[in-house]
């Protein structure tokens, strides 16, 4: 179920035509994740970063590669904002 969910989000990321649309896709993915009650956000973020990197390896389209790189950075930003200090 999570794999299918992530694949759907990655396909939306690939289709995004602007940076704003890309950010909306990523932000909306968190809303969808919560609505489905699937995994916690930290696991989702790590899963998406790994999946996006794997998807990037097979892409020849420059626009799609840029979208995947941008999405990785957006997920990293979310991760940094949501990480609680250990000390």
Residue 87: inside a domain: no
Can you give the residue range of the structural domain that contains 33?
2-82
Mean pLDDT in order along the chain per 10 residues (87 residues) = 89 96 96 84 89 88 94 91 58
20 exposed, middle or buried (CB, 10 Å; 0-12, 13-18, 19+)? Answer: exposed
Residue 27: inside a domain: yes
Residue 74: inside a domain: yes
Say what the pLDDT of residue 22 is: 96
Q: Which of 47, 37, 38, 36 is nearest to 72 (CA)?
A: 47
Residue 56: inside a domain: yes
Residue 70: inside a domain: yes
pTM: 0.84
Say what the pLDDT of residue 19 is: 94
Say what the pLDDT of residue 86 is: 38
- The number of folded domains in the chain is 1
């Amino acid at each position: 179920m999570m794999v299918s969910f992530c694949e759907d989000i990655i396909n939306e990321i690939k289709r995004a035509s602007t940076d704003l649309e890309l950010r909306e896709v990523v932000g909306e993915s968190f809303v969808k994740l919560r609505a489905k009650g699937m995994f916690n956000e930290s696991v989702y973020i790590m899963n998406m970063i790994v999946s996006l990197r794997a998807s990037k390896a097979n892409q020849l389209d420059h626009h799609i590669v840029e979208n995947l790189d941008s999405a990785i950075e957006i997920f990293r930003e979310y991760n940094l904002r949501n990480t609680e200090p250990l000390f």
